Amino acid sequence: MISIYRAALATPATMPPGAYRELCWGAGLDHTATGYGLLLGADTADGALLTAVIEDIDYVRLLIQAGGAEVPEDKVSCYLDGWPDLSTEAPTVWP
């Protein structure tokens, strides 16, 4: 289980095109037209930083509007180590 600290959208519409492609490449995700929702959190067992990748963008939008909620395991496509740098000035997106 993870504790969620931040939710973000990583989509072609919310990121500069080069940054979205780099995030997908660095995270090993397919470049899609709809993008992904990212839940930045920490493993409750050992504190390791994790990113939960969710393909249901509308679900992540609802999470952001609601200020967070419990996320069912079947909504998570995969977990990635660390957190991406989503700032537009970042030289690289994924650690």
Domain boundaries, given as residue ranges, for the chain: 2-81
Mean pLDDT of 59-77: 86
DSSP 43-89: ETTT--EEEEEES-HHHHHHHHHHT-----GGG--EEEES-----TT
The yes-or-no verdict on residue 30 having pLDDT over 90 is yes
Partners of 49 in the β-ladder: 42
Question: For position 70, what pLDDT does the model report?
Answer: 77
Give residue 57's pLDDT band: very low, low, confident or very high (50, 70, 90): very high
The yes-or-no verdict on residue 29 having pLDDT over 60 is yes
The yes-or-no verdict on residue 15 having pLDDT over 60 is yes
For the chain, give the percent of residues with pLDDT over 70: 89
CA–CA gap between residue 84 and residue 40 (Å, rounded): 9
CA–CA gap between residue 10 and residue 24 (Å, rounded): 9
Question: For position 91, what pLDDT does the model report?
Answer: 56
